[in-house]
Amino acid sequence: MANLKLTDVEKTYGGAVNVLNHIDLDIKTGELIVFVGPSGCGKSTLLRMIAGLEKITSGTLEIDGQVVNDVPPSQRGIAMVFQSYALYPHMTVRENMSFALKIAKKPQDEIDASVERAAKMLQLDEYLDRLPKALSGGQRQRVAIGRSIVRDPKVYLFDEPLSNLDAALRVATRIEIAQLKEKMPDSTMIYVTHDQVEAMTLATRIVVLANKGIAQVGSPLELYERPNSEFVAQFIGSPAMNLLPGEVVGTGPQTTVRMQRGGTAVSDYPTKDSDMGLKVNVGVRPEDMVETTGDAIFEGKVDFIEALGEVTLLYFEKQDNQAAVIGKLAGIHTDVRGKSVRLAAAPAKVHLFANGVSLLYR
Ligand code: ADP
Ligand code: MG
C-alpha cells in the first residue's frame, strides 16, 4: 500500500546536464503507472530518483505523505527490477530469492514462507532448486521479480524488464506481470517500457515523457482517443497517426476542414466562429481510414503494401515532402498495390491540431 507524490521535481546531472523539469505526478495505491517516451527522455532517471538511486535536484518526492528525498533506498520500501536480471549464478533459485531476507537476518521459517509464496505466485515452485543457468530467460526474469516480492515492498519499479527477452517470451511474461498485479491489488507499480503493447495492456495510466517534462498523463484509451498534442498522437499507436494539412471552413459542434491536397474532412472536435480559416493538421489513425467512393480526406496511389495476415498496411505515394500516409485495412488486400484509393474516416475518428496542440486542449 503506497501513494506516491512528486512535486515540481527537477533533475540536473553534475550541475550541468538538465534532464527533467517540473514533474508533478500523483500515484495512488494499486495503480500500475507506465512511463513511455523517446530514448534518452529521462524515464530511467525518474525511476531511479523514486528508488533513491539518484538524487533529486529540486522538488519533493513523498511516499504516503512523508517526504523521502533524503531517505536511503533500502528504507523506502521500494523494490526495483531491471532489464538485466543479475542473478547470482552459483546460487539456486531458492537461495537467490532468499538472499535479501537472509542479509536482513529474518527467521528461517519466515524466509521459507515468503519464498514459497512468491514462487507459487510466479509459477516457479518446480524450479526452486535449480541454478539460473538451467532456466530460460523468462524464468530468470521471474526469479528477479520473485527476489523483490519476498521483501514485500510497498512499491515495485520495473525498468524495461522484458526488453532482453525474445518476442514470444515477452508476450508470455507480459501476461504473467499483468496476472501478478491482479494477485497484488494493493501494490503500486511503476513500469518503464518502449513497447506500445506493454504500455497499452498493463497500464492503469500512462505517463508520456518528452522534452524534459510530462507531455500527457491518462488511461491508455484516453491517450489513444484524445491525445493532447501531435507528439502524443504520433507516439501512441502503431503505425503512427497520419497528419494531413488543411484549413477550417466550417465551425460548430462539428468542424469541416478543406484538405490542402483536395477533399474534405469532418471532425467531431468543436470549433468557434473565430476558428474559420485556421490552419490545422487533420489526424487520422491508419486503422480508422476506410475506403470510400464519396467525399474523401485523402486520395492517393498505393506505393507499397505489407500484408500481415490479420491486416494489410497500405503505404501511399509521398506528396510534397510529407511523411507517407499509411492505411490499415482489415484482412488481406494484395490487389491494391499501384491502385488509387480514396480514404475517409468517421467524424469521431478525425482529430484536429493547430500548432501541434489538440483543439480539445486549447
Ligand atoms: P531513458 O531511460 O528515457 O532512455 P535516461 O533517464 O537513461 O533516459 O537518460 C536521460 C538523459 O540523462 C540522457 O540524455 C542521458 O544521457 C542523461 N544521463 C543519464 N544518466 C546520466 C549521468 N549519470 N550523468 C549525466 N547524464 C546522464
Ligand atoms: Mg532507460
pLDDT by residue (tens digit) across 208-266? 999 999 999 999 999 999 999 999 999 999 899 999 999 999 999 999 999 999 999 99
Query: Which amino acid is it at 149?
Result: I
Residue nearest to atom 7 of ligand 1 (CA): 44
Q: Which three three-digit cell numbers place residue 273? A: 466562429
Which residues on neighbouring strands pair with residue 323, listed in sequence order?
none
How far apart CA 255 and CA 272 sit, in angstroms, is 9
When pLDDT is averaged across residues 44-55 and rounded to a whole number, the result is 96
144: nearest Cα among 153, 132, 134: 132
Q: What's the CATH number for 240-358?
A: 2.40.50.140
What is the residue whose three cell numbers read 506500445? 196
pLDDT digits (tens, 9 = 90+) for 312-330: 999 998 877 677 789 999 9
- Any idea where the domains of the chain sit in the sequence? 4-234, 240-358
* Fold exhibited by the domain 4-234: Rossmann fold (3.40.50)
How far apart are the C-alpha atoms of 158 and 190, rounded to whole Å? 6
User: Using a 6 Å CB cutoff, which residues line ligand 1?
Assistant: 13-14, 17, 19, 37, 39-45
Cα distance between residue 106 and residue 171, in whole Å = 35
Q: Which atom of ligand 1 is nearest to the CA of 38?
A: 3
Mean pLDDT along residues 39-67:
96
pLDDT at 194: 87
Nearest residue to 31 (alpha-carbon basis) of 159, 214, 219: 219
* Identity at 281, one-letter amino acid code: N
Asked if 314 contacts 333 with a C-beta cutoff of 8 angstroms, the reply is yes
User: How do residues 142-168 score in pLDDT, each as one tens digit?
Assistant: 899 899 889 889 999 999 988 878 888
Which H or E run contains 223? helix 220-225
Smallest-distance ligand from the CA of 19? 1
Are 4-234 and 240-358 equal in CATH topology? Answer: no
Average pLDDT, the chain: 93
Nearest CA to ligand 1 atom 10: 42
Write out the three cell numbers for 91: 546460487
